[in-house]
Structure 1
Amino acid sequence: MHFEYNNEHEHSIEKFELMLRSNEVGFFDSDEFEQIIEHYLNVGQMVTARKAISLALSQHPSSVTIRLFKAEMLIFDNHFKEAHALLDELYEMEPNNAELFIQKANIYSKTENHDKAIKLLNEALDLTEDQADVYNLIGMEFLFMEDYSNAKVNFMKCLELDDQDYAALYNIIYCFDFLKENQQAIDYLNKYLDTNPYSEVAWHQVGKQYFDLKEYEKSLSAFDFAIISDDTFVGAYLEKGKVLEKLGRYNEAIFNYELTLGLDDPTSFAYLRLGKCHLKLGNEEEAIKYLKRTVKEDPLLDKGWIAIVDFYTERLNYQRALNYLDKAIEIDGDNALYWIRFAVLNNKLNFFEEAEYGYRKAIELGNYEFDTWIDRADILIQLGEWRAAIITLEHGLEFYPNNPDLECRLSGVYYLTGKPFKGKYYLQNCLKAEPEQIIAFELLFPKVYKSDEIQQLITGL
């Protein structure tokens, strides 16, 4: 249910709020209450909306519209049984009221019976004057079902009826993207632009499609048209900057990113891209200045912290890199990317126990990259932590079965712990796959390598 506000309705809201503050009960006609309730629902003030519904029902108990608001609130509060009963009662009074079908569909949607919701919404289509909204709701139901083709069709019908519904346009492009239909998306957007040639949103989306297709010159042209349509469109400048970076035109990219800083509140994304561009141009002071602004603007943006850490790491300033990494971990200690860098930096500084802890944390947080297993195992071997090394290597083999690097190390550790049978098994496996692993074995386990048993095994191969 949607109403147009005017000064009279704004006055009704002010009068209602004055009534709440004074604890006096005033009279409002049903139209006023409908406007008041709709206002509070739209702004998300549910407590006040409930008060308005309660008072409205006390003054207009037979109003179907106000009782529909009551049903909507019951659904919001997950009181589905009561809402069903109320909607059934209202259906007996107004069987052709589209809103009844829409609210029933809302119940089925929230209880994940999306097929039933779609059926009810299709019935509502025949009864409503606002078909665009209903097509949009049907599209959302198909999205919930991950049926992107049918979702796309219904969002398109919505946009045909209301070509300024940019939410529907975004949803259409989302479906195209999920279906990996970039060219079809471009064709659709071009048709839309035939009748809406100054739609900055459509040009922006065309640019993003061409960017995904790596057709950067066409992408650039589309973003230029978006900017011509709206020269304050921050998103278009940011996307244009990304394209210019891909084309190696870093100074132009910087110009576009800097423009966004004056058009709206600065974004961490713009600061980060400015830092990256200056890095490409060798402007180290400017680069680090913008990278630091990135994390100041958004301390939760891990790309900003990682860029700073990598900046100092590449310049061999490991201690400073570690200082910034400590700040990042203090803010978000569950970021595996931080812990990997923590391990690498501590390893470079010969803080092996700290490095091992970093790799362990990364694994606990779901980083199962091959290098993580190898690097942690190598540190454990260096520390003489044989049992932990065996556990790490065996765990690694679950993700990378029969990997010669892992088996080479596991062989050596088993020999060191007095389990030559297992040691021989893994060494034979790895050398059959990669004979050159014997070089790594000699470097990692020189004493074991020199033993008669290993020499005989090598000779036998």
Structure 2
Amino acid sequence: MNKEAEAMIEAIQQNDLGAAVKLFKQSVEQSVLQKNSADLAELAETMHALGFLSEAKEAFSALNVIAPHVQEWNIALAEIAIDEDDYDQALDILLTIDKESDVYPQALLTMADAYQVQGMYEVSEKKIFEAMELLPDEPILDYALAQLYHSIGEYKKAIPIYEELLYGNGEIASGTQLNFFLGDCHNAIGEFETALEYLEKIPADEHFPDSYFQLGFTYFQLKEYARAITIFKKLLEADSEYLSAYLYLANALEAEHELEEALAVMEQAIACNPYQHEFYTAAARLQLKMNKVEDAERNLREAATLEPDLSSIHLALGNLLLKQGRHEELIAYIADRAEQEDTDPQYNWLLATSYHALEDYDSAHASYTSAYPHFADNESFLLEYTAFLREEGDWDKLGEVIHQGLALFPGNPDLIQLHDDLHHFDQ
């Protein structure tokens, strides 16, 4: 690297971008004048690595002028085009590379990257296979194929390739990386014990945030909550903005009956990112378990503000109002949801219960009737509905609902008793 390039790097480090641009231009001009492709290549690669894509493109283009026979420059230019989301340009550049060139397999691999990021996974796979035909014993191609399968959820295809790379000859990726990928794949298909075998092979000093998360997640799935808590705490100490860890840590603490600490974790999560509605709903759920109803309601309303179209939040708030006996308020709230075209069938169940409590039996009957087709297989709903029908004396409908309910829940003692009572009544 020439002295102008070295001075440019110092200027970048000092955040003097104006000077850096001038020095970059001087460095390129000097290398072109001297036809020094080595210095220019080092400069181009440095600019690409630093994220200065326009300058990297200029340097690689200059290399094509002074050393047009070196086709690696076109691969680099294609990679820059991919970084800039200009996939057509990337593919046009790559198609100029001679199929007889030593770098053609690399060109195919870069094509695979371009197709992958566009969601054209079958074409990406095909390009990797073409490269494998040219270089059948090249581990980097196996690694690329495994990464493709991993990224698109084809975990069972990725696993044997990762295993071969882990236990075979040649180190394309570190053992830590491969153990992580294998753990992640096995977790994704529910093989948690196997996932744990790989994740626990990662040395403590080589863990990184994603590997810690996968390890904590695996412990959580295996109900080893104390271990999960330890790992998630380590993760958040290392990276307090790893947002997914907060929910799992709180859930693990809840499983260990540490509700106060679980709530404190969710409050930390909200402080870290006050715009994620899941944090408010998780905090509200814990607060309801702790009988902190006012706090729970406040958090649910905040969540509803963040995600006004998410029915689950409004239903949670509706259930809170129902449990507090705030029936008129609940009915008005659901009417507002209807105006917002939120027509989740659970609203009818909530309305039916509230109308029944308010002794508005006609409205309750209409709401139960609307809810029944959606909850005919819900044991709790059937018990509530049959109690209402019995109270109303609607024996024909009661008999129908009991008959269908017993077909689904033949051992339910309440339905059995209702059936017997109805049978005796008929006699």
Counterpart AA for 1:213: L
Aligned match of 1:136:
147
Aligned match of 2:306:
297
Aligned match of 2:332:
323
Partners of 1:7 and 1:231 lie apart in 2 by 26
Partners of 2:401 and 2:127 lie apart in 1 by 50
Find 2:243's aligned residue among 220, 226, 234. 234
Partners of 2:56 and 2:243 lie apart in 1 by 37
Partners of 1:383 and 1:4 lie apart in 2 by 76
Change in 2 beyond 3 A, CA 1:126/1:260: same
Change in 2 beyond 3 A, CA 1:193/1:95: closer
Tell me, yes or no, if the aligned pair for 1:234 and 1:260 is still in contact at 8 Å.
yes
Change in 2 beyond 3 A, CA 1:287/1:341: same
Partners of 1:152 and 1:206 lie apart in 2 by 17
What pairs with 1:257-276 in structure 2 (closer than 5 Å)? 257-276=266-285
Helix, strand or coil at the partner of 2:200: helix
Deviates more, 1:118-127 or 1:177-186: 118-127
Change in 2 beyond 3 A, CA 1:181/1:323: same
Change in 2 beyond 3 A, CA 1:153/1:344: farther
Q: Give 1:136 shift.
A: 0.8
Change in 2 beyond 3 A, CA 1:126/1:342: farther
Task: Tell me how many residue pairs correspond in the alignment.
Answer: 360
Counterpart AA for 1:184: T
Q: Give 1:190 shift.
A: 1.6
Q: Give 1:314 shift.
A: 1.6
Matched residues, percent identical? Answer: 16
Aligned match of 1:77:
none
Establish whether residue 185 from structure 1 lines up as the match of residue 195 from structure 2. Answer: yes
What pairs with 1:107-126 in structure 2 (closer than 5 Å)? 123=133, 126=137
What pairs with 1:194-205 in structure 2 (closer than 5 Å)? 194=204, 196-197=206-207, 199-205=208-214
Aligned match of 2:54:
10
Find 1:400's aligned residue among 398, 404, 407. 407
Change in 2 beyond 3 A, CA 1:163/1:352: farther
Partners of 1:337 and 1:241 lie apart in 2 by 28
Aligned match of 2:256:
247
Tell me, yes or no, if the aligned pair for 1:339 and 1:358 is still in contact at 8 Å.
yes
Helix, strand or coil at the partner of 1:192: coil
Partners of 2:313 and 2:417 lie apart in 1 by 43
Helix, strand or coil at the partner of 1:191: coil
Partners of 1:374 and 1:114 lie apart in 2 by 55
Deviates more, 1:259-268 or 1:168-177: 168-177
Deviates more, 1:236-245 or 1:95-104: 95-104
Partners of 2:381 and 2:323 lie apart in 1 by 20
Q: Give 1:293 shift.
A: 1.2
TM-score, L = length of structure 1: 0.60
What pairs with 1:47-126 in structure 2 (closer than 5 Å)? 50=88, 52=89, 63=93, 65-66=94-95, 96-97=104-105, 99-100=107-108, 123=133, 126=137
Find 1:438's aligned residue among 407, 420, 424. 420
Tell me, yes or no, if the aligned pair for 1:189 and 1:202 is still in contact at 8 Å.
yes
Tell me, yes or no, if the aligned pair for 2:217 and 2:228 is still in contact at 8 Å.
yes
Counterpart AA for 1:400: A
TM-score, L = length of structure 2: 0.64
Q: Give 1:341 shift.
A: 2.4
Partners of 1:365 and 1:223 lie apart in 2 by 39
Aligned match of 2:344:
335
Establish whether residue 153 from structure 1 lines up as the match of residue 156 from structure 2. Answer: no
- 1:69-104 CA deviation, whole Å, 9 max, x = no partner? xxxxxxxxxxxxxxxxxxxxx758889525547868
Partners of 2:412 and 2:273 lie apart in 1 by 52
